Amino acid sequence: MDSHSITKTISINAPVSKVFAFVANLANWPKWAIANVVAVKPGSGEWWATETRTGLGRLRIKADEASGILDYDLVSSGVQWSVSARVVPKGEGSEFTLTFSQPPSVTKDAFEKQAGLADKELAKLKQLMES
């Protein structure tokens, strides 16, 4: 199977520091990651326990504010999604980018459908950050 990636980007009229702090706090994920994350709570070590649309899982974030890195791993239904995320300055606002790489066990169609759900999540993040 050929693996590929999909990148989604949204401009947000809010400072990088605000967007970074909100996304880096995993407790906020059910507020914006509405297509996938239903609930979260601190788990073991760097992993948080999650309830996702497909069942129970785990979530961790590798955040570095100085570089705007918000990479994360989500494990749900036996599939690990590793996503590269960045928030960078765009004028007085921010540009938030997610790059999804296709997990080996996920078909191209299922991957594209799942990555497509990110549009809804990015729109929600924009709404929350701009209100």
What confidence tier does 14 reach under pLDDT thresholds 50, 70, 90? very high
- Comparing 110 with 124, the larger pLDDT belongs to 124
Q: What is the pLDDT of residue 2?
A: 58
CB 111 within 8 A of CB 89: no
In the chain, the percentage of residues whose pLDDT exceeds 70 is 98
pLDDT in tens, 26-41: 999 999 999 989 999 9
Q: What is the reported pTM?
A: 0.91
Contact 82/69 with Cβ under 8 angstroms? no
- What are the structural domains, with CATH classification, of the chain? 5-130 (3.30.530.20)
Two tokens, residue 104:
């080996």
Tens of pLDDT along 85-122? 999 999 999 999 999 898 888 888 988 888 888 999 99
Cα separation of 52 and 30, whole Å? 9
